Amino acid sequence: MISWLWLLAIPFLAGIFLASQTLVLKIAGGGGMLLLFGWGAWLYLSLSRQKSQSEKSLEELAQLKDDAGRQKNQGQELARQKEKSEEFRKDLERRLQEIKTAWDSLPAGMLLISKPENKVLSINAEAERISGYRAVEIVGRGWEQTLTGQANQPQGPARIQALKDKDLAELEQDKIILKDGTELEVNTRIWVLPGGQRVGWMFHPKNQAMDYNKLREEFITNISHELRTPLTVIKGYAEILYEDAKSAGHEQADLMKVIVDEGDRLAGLLDSIINFRQASSGMMGLRQEKVDIIALLNTVIHDLGPKSAKKEIKIIKKVPQTLAPSRGDFNALRFAFSNIMDNAVKFNSQGGSITVETGGWRLEDGMWKMQVHISDTGSGIAPEVMPHIFEKFYRTDQKVHTIQGTGIGLSLTKEILETHGGNISVESTAGKGTKVTVSLPMSE
């Protein structure tokens, strides 16, 4: 408004210019008006430019304020993430120490070996005690050179060859060379761990008898229990980080989702191992109740729906509307049939099919039993593998190791069905498919 006050002088100068009778006054009045107009224009432009710069400065200041607020929020978010990561790291270190304690407390020499490098990754305290070597003298060495002296060179390669075509081997005539040069006869058991990338080597002096099956199962069960708690913690933190990253639109959300999914998969494997141990020792606590087989099969098929849909596998049901009930534990039987159906999906081809069919009640060994047939169009089972499919922790070959699993599914299924007074049989043709038949007794 101030920039326009000079206009008030224009009428005065105009009056002098018009009323004046002399040339000098007219020139003075006209010149004054021109100068006043020029000064007024300059003043207006100057003030307008200053106002524009002030407004721009205010906008930049507001933008800086917003940026500072966002940086503050990001800093707080990073601080929270750092705090969660630190808590996770400390808890993981504590759990790993617990696992190492369990590993070192085993009453047999144990080595963990990498494949295919055949390098020793870890050695437990009992193996150190028996051999006289310290871990730093063994870890990193080639398996064929471990605990092997010049007089016993063939033993290293013999252990490697023993696992060439299978996942489990026993060497009753194995020998190791101790640090003091003494030769010691040992019972050796070697097996490929789930995943196919690690080998376990367990040995014990021959003069100390030991049930290796029991020792290995106890070791796996103990490790499974030790892993379950830290895994639950890992999953919990991973899910929190995933949700935070997802809500913030961070690219790391996809990576965190992978951790969550793999945690769920590992939790399933651990549960299978623990359930197997409980079933083998009779600790599962099976109930005796009437079981609607049709409802049971429908439940299992529904559970496997998303997995079968992912591979575009068609599930064909050939079952009646009603059927006389069987007797047993619904959840245990659900677990058993889920294992069978899961294998049918897992080893089936893309776009294949699974047929679930009941054979009605028939008299077997003086007992009325009902048969359930589950057939798939998958890869089938080779004849040389068929005798071993119900063995504990047995898995077929390295190719199958690309498919996740523990090798205890069918063994646990057989345990559960036999506990119920039933049985299971398998027919298969390599390259064509597999048919599993389950028989269950009628409810009294």
Q: What is the mean pLDDT of the chain?
A: 76
Mean pLDDT, residues 420-443? 88
Domain 289-441 in the same topology as domain 105-210: no
pLDDT over 90 at 436, yes or no: yes
- Report field, pTM of the whole predicted structure over 0.85: no
Q: What is the pLDDT of residues 33-51, one digit of tens each?
A: 566 666 666 766 777 777 7
**Which class is 105-210 in CATH?**
alpha beta
Lowest pLDDT segment from 31-35, 73-77, 78-82, 414-418: 31-35
Domains of the chain, by residue range, sit at: 2-69, 105-210, 221-280, 289-441
**Which class is 289-441 in CATH?**
alpha beta
C-alpha angle 265-268-274 in degrees, rounded to nearest 5 = 145
Q: What is the pLDDT of residues 344-386, one digit of tens each?
A: 998 898 999 999 998 877 777 677 888 899 999 998 888 888 8
Q: What is the pLDDT of residues 382-394, one digit of tens each?
A: 888 888 888 765 6
